Amino acid sequence: MQALFFDSLAGPYFRSGDLDRAEEACKKIQSLDLAKLNTGDIYATSFYWLGRIAEKQGDTAGARGNFRKFLNLSKAAATL
């Protein structure tokens, strides 16, 4: 349930330009042990948002790494 709450904050924070709070919300999702098991889609999406944040900040390597992690998690989920 906590992962869903933080996920509902990440997008609006990002769209409003508050990248620090968006990043914080994503990292909180990733710190939740059960987020990986119970809400894997939200866990994966947190890497997408971190990629977008890094992209906005001009961090190409960080963006690439987060997008890659998002795609790998999504690909793994699709094969289940």
pLDDT value of position 48: 97
Q: Which of 12, 22, 6 is nearest to 54 (CA)?
A: 22
Q: Does pTM surpass 0.85?
A: yes
From first to last of the 80 residues of the chain, give the pLDDT tens digit. 688 999 999 999 999 999 999 999 999 999 987 756 677 789 999 999 999 999 999 999 999 999 999 999 988 877 76
Q: Please count the residues of the chain.
A: 80
Domain boundaries along the sequence of the chain:
2-78
| One-letter-per-residue 3-state SS of the chain | CHHHHHHHHHHHHHHHCCHHHHHHHHHHHHHCHHHHHHCHHHHHHHHHHHHHHHHHCCCHHHHHHHHHHHHHHHHHHHCC
Q: Name the CATH superfamily for 2-78.
A: Tetratricopeptide repeat domain (1.25.40.10)
